[in-house]
Copies of this chain bind each other. A is one copy, B any other.
Amino acid sequence: MTYQPPVKDHTFLLRDVLEIEKYANLPGFADASMDVVEQILAEAGKFTSEVLAPLNPVGDKEGCHWSPDHTVKTPKGFKEAYAKLVEGGWPALGSDPNYGGQGLPHVVNLAFSEMSSSANMAFSMYPGLTHGAYSAILNGGSDAQKSLYLPNLVSGNWGGTMNLTEPHCGTDLGLLRTKAVPQGDGSYKISGTKIWISGGEHDMVENIVHLVLARIEGAPEGVRGISLFIVPKFIPDADGKPGTRNSVFCDGLEEKMGIHGNATCVIRHEESVGWLVGEENRGLSLMFVMMNEARLGVGLQGVAQAEAAYQAAATFAKERLQGRSLTGPKNPDGPADPIIVHPDVRRMLLDSRCVIEGGRAFMFWTALQGDLSHAHPDEAIRQKAADYMALMTPVVKGFLTDKGLKACSDAVQVHGGSGFTEHFPVSQYMRDVRIALIYEGTNGVQALDLVGRKLAANGGRAVMTFFAEVDAFVATNGGDEQLKPFVEGLAGAKAKLQDGTFWLMQNGLSNPDNAGAASTDYMHLFGLTALSYMWAMMAKVALAKIAAGAADPFYETKLALGRYYLQRILPDAQSHLAKLTSGSELMMGLPAEAF
């Protein structure tokens, strides 16, 4: 069975849980009536499952081909699929109408992004990075840069990349050495080597727009001396068409555990010509605009790979005949029962499913905050939404990719020996998703961003607002007998998160190592609490639908999954709280040489 896009769950979230039609008076949302959205989802499902999904194993097995002439050939079929992507207008879905975009809310675009990523993660990274470059120029570029570059990035005719990492600096961009020398004509000459550049060179687009971090000659050391440049592979000519070949070269590809279909390039700038984006020495903050968006996209990859892997595992479990149910044959006429009769197989599937559906809701909810933070007329709501967006981004990225890897590994496990072979798709899902825990800031960096910056920002305003919102939900819904277990579960999780937060306030400020030592467990405790909230909201909708006579088993299943979440996933909250409050003393007491 090939990938089945979860259109029904997307519709449930957008229509019933987030009720996006409530926002019809906001820019973008007016064009996103549920009629339109459902049509888009159906088309997106068709495109991703029929065009992208069949190429996923091809990309994995074949990989990309680098030639000494610095060209890179993508796997068979990628180029044609990319042409269809552009033709279908998919890259433009959520982009600014001023530059050819369709201007739909990000939360709607997210559904397409999830499907693309499930169908073919390596492929979906090409337009994903292009969108990142688009965002950076949209936010920081001059009007001339916007009109020169954005239409081609929005359409997907040109690709985009982020040139950050250098061999000696990844997380610590303050160390970067790539230099930029002003030429007096507004342009700069850029020299240096960048590594791990996704989509840094390939054959699917007519031009590639590199967004490059470099240090202008004489700029201060460290992060305050970094500027952002546009370095196009072909310098646009007077008509805005690809002109002179710039001296930016792909010197090779990385061999990687996964995402073989994506070209991970070493990029050499040999006095390449670049143009400054925004102000001198302010490149990092612009890059972080791009990065924050990218982080949500990486969290999405965690859910997307988990979904694809879950589907493969559930299908396998219903088809593979092996052994008998512990309570007597369930397929007495067959040689054995399908392995889905086994509780432990269901445990793995349901663990994954609860995290996928809860995580999907969390992603969508967070993306909606992003939309509201830009588009809502009420400043208080904009601020609250921006607070949430900032607070939740590291949780979406770190928590959902950690859980995504677990789900992909469990899907391998459900397959038994077959899962370890490359004849079944699950090995690839597990290998592909592994990078999501690392890039755009490792999950440890996410956790530190959460405890070190996001919590403390504005005197803890964001997290306090979240606690108040949860409290209000609990107060409003606590009297509903059927919803009670969900409300109680949520209240319990929130109480633990609050304990953890207070512990951090008391112990993290006096000794930052305590914050660092607590960070990953705190991030997980936060994720578990956020998912408790999502499950409570989803359960409330499902109960209302059932009360209103809905006969679709979708709603009963949703409730069962929510209950399973409370019983089988949420107990980890206690354990994370115990660990995070144990402090850093033992961890930091050992001398480095003891490791």
Digitize A298-320: 1 where CB-to-B-CB distance is under 8 Å, 0 elsewhere.
00000000000000001001100
Instruction: Answer yes or no: A346 CB below 8 A from chain B CBs.
Output: yes
| A317 shortest CB reach to chain B, Å | 7
Chain B residues in 8 Å Cβ range of A553: 594
Instruction: Answer yes or no: A227 CB below 8 A from chain B CBs.
Output: no
Instruction: Answer yes or no: A240 CB below 8 A from chain B CBs.
Output: no
Q: Contact at A169–B322, with CB atoms within 8 Å?
A: yes
Residue among A344, A434, A574 facing the most chain B CB atoms (10 A cut-off): A344
Chain B residues in 8 Å Cβ range of A422: 255-257
Instruction: Answer yes or no: A579 CB below 8 A from chain B CBs.
Output: yes
Instruction: Answer yes or no: A6 CB below 8 A from chain B CBs.
Output: no
Contact among B256, B409, B416, B575 with A571 in the assembled complex (CB-CB below 8 Å): B575
- Nearest B residue to A419 via CB reads B438
Q: Contact at B344–A516, with CB atoms within 8 Å?
A: yes
- Nearest B residue to A344 via CB reads B444
Chain B residues in 8 Å Cβ range of A417: 165, 170, 196, 438-439
Within 8 A of B (CB), among A168-199: 168-172, 174-175, 196
Q: Contact at B571–A587, with CB atoms within 8 Å?
A: no
Q: Contact at A571–B579, with CB atoms within 8 Å?
A: yes
Q: Contact at A335–B175, with CB atoms within 8 Å?
A: yes
Chain B residues in 8 Å Cβ range of A578: 571, 574
Q: Considering the chains assembled together, what is the distance between the CA atoms of A421 and B168 in angstroms? A: 15
Contact among B413, B438, B444, B515 with A438 in the assembled complex (CB-CB below 8 Å): B413
Chain B residues in 8 Å Cβ range of A168: 321
Digitize A508-539: 1 where CB-to-B-CB distance is under 8 Å, 0 elsewhere.
00011101110110000000000000000000
Chain A at the B interface: SS class = helix
- Nearest B residue to A562 via CB reads B586
Q: Contact at B435–A420, with CB atoms within 8 Å?
A: yes
Q: Contact at A595–B347, with CB atoms within 8 Å?
A: no
Q: Contact at A588–B343, with CB atoms within 8 Å?
A: yes
Contact among B256, B423, B517, B568 with A582 in the assembled complex (CB-CB below 8 Å): B568
Q: Considering the chains assembled together, what is the distance between the CA atoms of A553 and B571 in angstroms? A: 38
Instruction: Answer yes or no: A338 CB below 8 A from chain B CBs.
Output: yes
Contact among B438, B443, B516 with A343 in the assembled complex (CB-CB below 8 Å): B516
- Nearest B residue to A340 via CB reads B592
Instruction: Answer yes or no: A447 CB below 8 A from chain B CBs.
Output: yes
Within 8 A of B (CB), among A556-574: 557, 560, 563-564, 567-568, 571-572, 574
Instruction: Answer yes or no: A384 CB below 8 A from chain B CBs.
Output: no
Instruction: Answer yes or no: A254 CB below 8 A from chain B CBs.
Output: yes
Q: Contact at A579–B568, with CB atoms within 8 Å?
A: yes
Chain B residues in 8 Å Cβ range of A376: none
Q: Contact at A586–B574, with CB atoms within 8 Å?
A: no
- Nearest B residue to A315 via CB reads B595
Instruction: Answer yes or no: A350 CB below 8 A from chain B CBs.
Output: yes
| A266 shortest CB reach to chain B, Å | 11
Within 8 A of B (CB), among A119-166: 165
Q: Contact at A346–B588, with CB atoms within 8 Å?
A: yes
Instruction: Answer yes or no: A584 CB below 8 A from chain B CBs.
Output: yes
- Nearest B residue to A564 via CB reads B586
Instruction: Answer yes or no: A342 CB below 8 A from chain B CBs.
Output: yes
Q: Contact at A560–B409, with CB atoms within 8 Å?
A: no
Digitize A374-409: 1 where CB-to-B-CB distance is under 8 Å, 0 elsewhere.
000000000000000000000000000000010001
- Nearest B residue to A508 via CB reads B326
Instruction: Answer yes or no: A590 CB below 8 A from chain B CBs.
Output: yes
Q: Considering the chains assembled together, what is the distance between the CA atoms of A106 and B568 in angstroms? A: 39
Digitize A411-435: 1 where CB-to-B-CB distance is under 8 Å, 0 elsewhere.
0110011011111000100110011
Q: Considering the chains assembled together, what is the distance between the CA atoms of A348 and B443 in angstroms? A: 12
| A107 shortest CB reach to chain B, Å | 27
Chain B residues in 8 Å Cβ range of A174: 336
| A306 shortest CB reach to chain B, Å | 14
Contact among B431, B520, B587 with A431 in the assembled complex (CB-CB below 8 Å): B431
Q: Contact at A434–B420, with CB atoms within 8 Å?
A: yes
Chain B residues in 8 Å Cβ range of A416: 170-171, 438, 442
Q: Contact at B595–A567, with CB atoms within 8 Å?
A: no
Instruction: Answer yes or no: A448 CB below 8 A from chain B CBs.
Output: yes
Q: Contact at B345–A444, with CB atoms within 8 Å?
A: yes
Instruction: Answer yes or no: A458 CB below 8 A from chain B CBs.
Output: no
Instruction: Answer yes or no: A476 CB below 8 A from chain B CBs.
Output: no
25 A-B interface contacts by CB (under 8 A): A165-B417, A170-B417, A175-B335, A175-B336, A255-B421, A255-B423, A256-B427, A257-B430, A257-B431, A317-B595, A326-B512, A340-B592, A343-B513, A343-B516, A343-B587, A344-B448, A350-B587, A412-B438, A431-B431, A557-B594, A560-B590, A564-B587, A572-B572, A574-B578, A575-B575
